[in-house]
Amino acid sequence: MSGVYFHIPFCKQLCSYCDFHKNISLTAKNEMLSCLKKELEQRHNYLPDRNISTIYFGGGTPSVYQPEEIQELIDATANYFSFSEDIEITMEANPDDLTSDYLQKLQQTAVNRLSMGIQSLHADDLKLMNRRHSDKEAVTAIKNAQKYGFDNISIDLIYGVPGLTISKWEENLNRIFELSIQHISAYHLMIEPGTVFYQKVARGKLSEVEEELSIQQFKLLIDKAKENGFEHYEVSNFCKKGMYSKHNTAYWQQKPYLGIGPAAHSYNLHEREWNISNNKKYMQGITTRVACSEKEQLSTSDKFNDYVLTALRTKWGLNLKRVEKEFGEKQYAHCLKMAEKHIKNNNIRIENDTLILTDKGVFVSNDIMADFFWV
C-alpha cells in the first residue's frame, strides 16, 4: 500500500499561524504544474510498488489550480502507477475557492475526498488568523460540496487560539457537527517561528492561551465528537465509522509514499528524502536535473522512533510483537519498561500485546511518547 503526495506551494494570502511552504505570488503556477509532472516522470521508481492506494494534494492551497489541472496531475500519476479499486484521492481546499462552478467541475475529476481548512466559524478568529473567508462562506462551501456529490469531507479546525473562549469553541463544534461531515482534524495552535503569530508573541502583542483552557477545549472536542458518533482514531483526528484518512493512516503505519513538489517528503521504507523548500530552486533543479533534495538513510533507532511516535498516536496502538520482530529484544524490553508506569497511572492500556493510549493518556500523549523515544 503506497501513496503519492503532491505539495502545491502557493497561497493567495498568508495565514498568521502557518509555516507550511508556500509562495503568495502565483505567477509560476503553470511552470510549476509542468515541473510536478516532470518530477513524477523522474522519480516514480522511488516507490517499491507499482500500485497506489492514495493520492493527496496538500499545500499550500491545491485549489489555486483549476479542477482540470488537478486531473492532469492524476492522469500523469496514472502513467506510472496502477490505482487500487478503492483509491482515495484527497484534495485540500480553501473554502473561498470552492464556488459552485469549481465544485461542479471538481466532481467530474477523480478527486473523491475534500479536506477544507475552516479553522473557526467566528469572524474575529478568522480575522486574527488572516483567513480569506467568512464563517458563512465556509458553511456554504461545505453545503455546496455535499450538494454536488462529495460524500467524504474532512474539515480542519484550530483550538487554543488567543481569544477563543470555551463557549466560542463549543459554538464552533456545534455548528460543525450539524453539517453531516465525515471527518475532522482539529489541531492545537502551534506558534511557529517565521509566522506573524510568532512575531506578535515575541513583541508581547499576542499571548498564548493558558494550558488549562487548551485542555478544556480538547476535552470538549473529544466529548462532542463522541456524542456525534465520531471515532477518535488519532490524537488530532476524528471520523464517522470507517471514514479514516487512508493517506494519513498509511503515514502512521509506515507505508511508503512519494512526495512530489517543493518541500515534499518521501519515504520508501529505508530512507527519507525531502525536496528543497524554494519554488524557484525546485523548478530549476527539476528542469536541469540537478539534485534539489536531501536524503537520510534511516537507522534501526530512527525506524523504531518513527514507529513509536506514530503508532502511539493512533487507536491501533503500538504492537509489542512487531517491536520484538522488527527491532529486537532490547527495544521490546525498553517498551515494556516505559509502559509500566503509564499502565499503572491509567495512561496506557495493554490489549492483545498492543499498547494503546487511554482517554486519560491522550491528554499527555507528548510526554508519554518522549519516554518511549530511543536515543
Ligand X SMILES: C[S@@+](CC[C@H](N)C(=O)[O-])C[C@H]1O[C@@H](n2cnc3c(N)ncnc32)[C@H](O)[C@@H]1O
Q: How many residues bind ligand SF4 (CB under 6 A)?
A: 11
> Should residue 11 be labelled a site residue for ligand SF4 when binding is judged by CB under 6 A?
yes
Cis? peptide before 59, omega within 30° of 0: no
> Should residue 261 be labelled a site residue for ligand X when binding is judged by CB under 6 A?
no
Among residues 4, 18, 36, 181, the one that binds ligand X under rule CB under 6 A: 18
**Least distance in angstroms from the C-beta of 41 to ligand X:** 26
- Contacts of ligand SF4 in 88-127 (CB under 6 A): 94, 117
CA 214 – CA 151 distance, rounded (Å) = 31
Choose the stretch contacting ligand X; rule: CB under 6 A; options: 170-178, 186-194, 304-312, 364-372: 186-194
Answer yes or no: are the C-beta atoms of 260 and 101 closer than 8 Å.
Answer: no
- Contact partner, 22, from ligand SF4, ligand X, none, Cβ < 5-8 Å per class: ligand SF4
**Least distance in angstroms from the C-beta of 104 to ligand X:** 20
CA 157 – CA 172 distance, rounded (Å) = 9
- Contact partner, 339, from ligand X, ligand SF4, none, Cβ < 5-8 Å per class: none
Tell me the one-letter amino acid at 288: T
Q: Which of 361, 315, 355 shows the shortest CA–CA distance to 331?
A: 355
Answer left, alpha or beta for residue 128, where phi above 0 means left and psi between -120 and 50 means alpha. Answer: alpha
CA 243 – CA 313 distance, rounded (Å) = 17
> Should residue 190 be labelled a site residue for ligand SF4 when binding is judged by CB under 6 A?
no
Residue of closest CB approach to ligand X:
117
> Should residue 59 be labelled a site residue for ligand SF4 when binding is judged by CB under 6 A?
yes
> Should residue 80 be labelled a site residue for ligand SF4 when binding is judged by CB under 6 A?
no
**Least distance in angstroms from the C-beta of 233 to ligand X:** 18
Answer yes or no: are the C-beta atoms of 260 and 39 closer than 8 Å.
Answer: yes
Answer yes or no: are the C-beta atoms of 361 and 371 closer than 8 Å.
Answer: no
- What contacts 204, CB < 8 A, 6 or more positions away? none
Cell numbers for 238: 476524528
**Least distance in angstroms from the C-beta of 364 to ligand X:** 19
Choose the stretch contacting ligand X; rule: CB under 6 A; options: 14-22, 247-255, 276-284, 320-328: 14-22
Nearer to ligand X, 31 or 156 (CB): 156
Nearer to ligand X, 123 or 269 (CB): 123
Pairing of strands 82-93, 113-119: parallel
- What contacts 55, CB < 8 A, 6 or more positions away? 3, 4, 5, 6, 74, 77, 87, 88, 89, 90, 247
**Least distance in angstroms from the C-beta of 279 to ligand SF4:** 14
> Should residue 190 be labelled a site residue for ligand X when binding is judged by CB under 6 A?
yes
Phi, psi of 146 (to 5 degrees): -65, -45
Nearer to ligand X, 252 or 307 (CB): 252
CA torsion sign, 62 to 64 to 66 to 68? negative
Nearer to ligand X, 7 or 342 (CB): 7
Residues found near ligand X in the complex (CB under 6 A)? 17-18, 20, 59, 61, 92, 94, 117, 119, 156, 158, 187, 189-190, 192
Residues found near ligand SF4 in the complex (CB under 6 A)? 11, 14-15, 18, 20, 22, 59-61, 94, 117
